[in-house]
């Protein structure tokens, strides 16, 4: 949980997410997940955006019914060579 100044709503939203099964699964994941962005106002919808040290991103969104859903952003690695970069000059 962030240690800086938080509004009461922001703190409640993070606590609500931390109490989900999804958050507990992330705690058991060998990767280190950091909260990058989350809802600072009372919701729903509420959103929590996390990123791991490998750059993978996971978004959790809670709808009006209180159901959380997860979305993973696909990560596509591209290795560029000097000849590739010359095409953009």
**Domains identified in the chain and CATH numbers:** 8-75 (3.10.450)
Q: How many H-runs (helices) and E-runs (strands) does the chain carry?
A: 3, 4
What contacts 57, CB < 8 A, 6 or more positions away? 36, 49, 50, 51, 72, 73, 75
pLDDT number for residue 75: 59
Q: What pLDDT band is residue 14 in, cutting at 50, 70 and 90? A: confident
The pTM score is 0.68
């Amino acid at each position: 949980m962030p240690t800086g100044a938080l509004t009461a709503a922001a703190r409640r939203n993070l606590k609500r997410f931390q109490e989900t099964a999804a958050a507990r699964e992330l705690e058991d994941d060998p990767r280190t997940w950091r909260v990058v962005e989350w809802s600072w106002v009372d919701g729903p919808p509420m959103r929590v955006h996390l990123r791991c040290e490998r750059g993978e991103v996971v978004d959790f969104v809670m709808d009006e019914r209180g159901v959380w859903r997860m979305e993973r952003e696909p990560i596509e690695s591209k290795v560029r060579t000097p000849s590739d970069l010359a095409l953009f000059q």
